[in-house]
Amino acid sequence: MKDKEIQNLIKAEKRRQETAVDLIASENFVSNDVLEALGSVFTNKYAEGYPGARYYGGNAVVDDLERLAGKRALKLYRLDPKKWSVNVQPYSGSPANLAVLHALVPVGGKVMGMDLNMGGHLTHGYRASVTGKLWRQAPYGVDKKTECIDYGGLMKIAKKAKPKLIIAGGSAYSRVVDFKKFRKMADTVDALLLIDMSHFAGLVAGGAYPSPFPYADVVMTTTHKTLRGPRAAIIFSRRTAIPHSKLSIPDLIDRSVFPGLQGGPHANAIAAVAVALKEASAPAFKKYAQQVVRNARTLAFELQKRGWRIVSGGTDTHLFLMDTWERGIGGKEASERLEKAGIIVNKNMIPYDTRKPSDPSGIRIGTAAVTTRGLKEKDMRRLAERMDKTLSR
């Protein structure tokens, strides 16, 4: 590379990633093939529109690429193309959620989503996000005692708020989400159901977490978390007709992504997504996904054994929250101390937190990245010991 300044920064970041222990729940390490596709000449091409209907010439190859990526996405989750449509153009998870809301909920309408401070995501209608300014959020959380979703309580919120769209899934919820109960809730109040599987998409692909597809109208996922692809997102939507309209849900979503929200798709990212989708359909990925969950369970258990409180008492996924304030350490200090010991986590609000987001009561811990690096249960035991020593002193 001629640009030595940037080359040095890339080298420095590579070294950092190779030497630190990455426990950030939303991160992973992609394969060299994914990196190669991402750094390919596809980045040079403008391809506004969809395969077979572009606004620029020279798109025969990008058409093949985008069709292949869509086909692989449907195949990975065993979806019938007659029943499900897929859009692989979203730049990332946040614009993808914005596109779904913009497609399905009139501005000013109500969206029921998990509160950010209870484990939800900004883009599920939180007030600081544009999704909370254009739409009104009916927030839901977890039960104070169990720290798990209380479906009876949620049904009450749904009946009272009558949202147009209910969103299931979050960024810091460690338990299996009961999609069937969400479906029942949506049907009861005549709402559509969006399942945001950004965090657990790789676990679903590997059979380590229940599939949301039998229950959802729309499934959104980022591709760079447990799915281990480049930074991008995919929107799956059921081919359901919209009452009193010639349009279907996929029509609305495709129009919302382009030209509603985005311009030219990032063909290089789509190429890298396609590579990751194929990798995720291999038998080795199934093993990977199971190991991710076993590692998270082991790490949570070993920390508990050393006296640390884990929110909801454990995990069914790749992530969990640890209440550090219970032992007098704020989440900010905990994450800084761990970083000095070479362990990277993020500070995180815990349910019913009495502290503030900039210095909350806990940290979020995830095992997707370290499992890619080959760590197993015995390594989790050692890691728990190191974390305990670092935080206890």
Let me know: does 47 contact 265? Beta carbons within 8 Å: yes
What would the x/- binding string for ligand PLP be over residues 6 to 45, using CB under 6 A?
--------------------x-------------------
Tokens of 78: 């065993």
Question: Whole-number minimum distance, CB 340 to ligand PLP, in Å?
Answer: 26
> Which parts of 89-172 are beta strand (E)?
110-114, 136-140, 165-168
Question: Would residue 48 show up in a list of annotated catalytic residues for this protein?
Answer: yes
CA-closest candidate to residue 362, choices 387, 389, 310, 325: 325
Residue nearest to ligand PLP as judged by C-beta position: 93
By CB under 6 A, is residue 199 in contact with ligand PLP?
yes
By CB under 6 A, is residue 66 in contact with ligand PLP?
no
CA distance 220 to 174: 18
Of the pair 122, 387, the CB lying nearest ligand PLP is at 122
By CB under 6 A, is residue 129 in contact with ligand PLP?
no
Question: Would residue 196 show up in a list of annotated catalytic residues for this protein?
Answer: yes
By CB under 6 A, is residue 198 in contact with ligand PLP?
yes
By CB under 6 A, is residue 228 in contact with ligand PLP?
no
Angle between helices 377-392 and 283-305 (to 10 degrees): 40
Question: Would residue 209 show up in a list of annotated catalytic residues for this protein?
Answer: no
In DSSP notation, 162-209 reads --SEEEE--SS--S---HHHHHHHHHHHT-EEEEE-TTTHHHHHTTSS
Size of the site for ligand PLP (CB under 6 A): 15
Cα–Cα distances in angstroms (integers) from residue 209 to residues 28, 162, 212, 278, in the given order = 18, 29, 9, 19
By CB under 6 A, is residue 123 in contact with ligand PLP?
yes
CA distance 109 to 355: 31
Within positions 373 to 392, which residues make up the interface with ligand PLP, using CB under 6 A?
A: none
Name the one residue in this structure whose structure tokens are 């985005």: 262
User: Which of residues 22, 196, 302, 323 is near ligand PLP by CB under 6 A?
Assistant: 196
Q: Which of 222, 223, 315, 371 is catalytic?
A: 222
Catalytic residues: 46, 48, 196, 222, 225, 231
Residues that bind ligand PLP (CB under 6 A): 26, 92-94, 97, 121, 123, 169-171, 196, 198-199, 222, 231
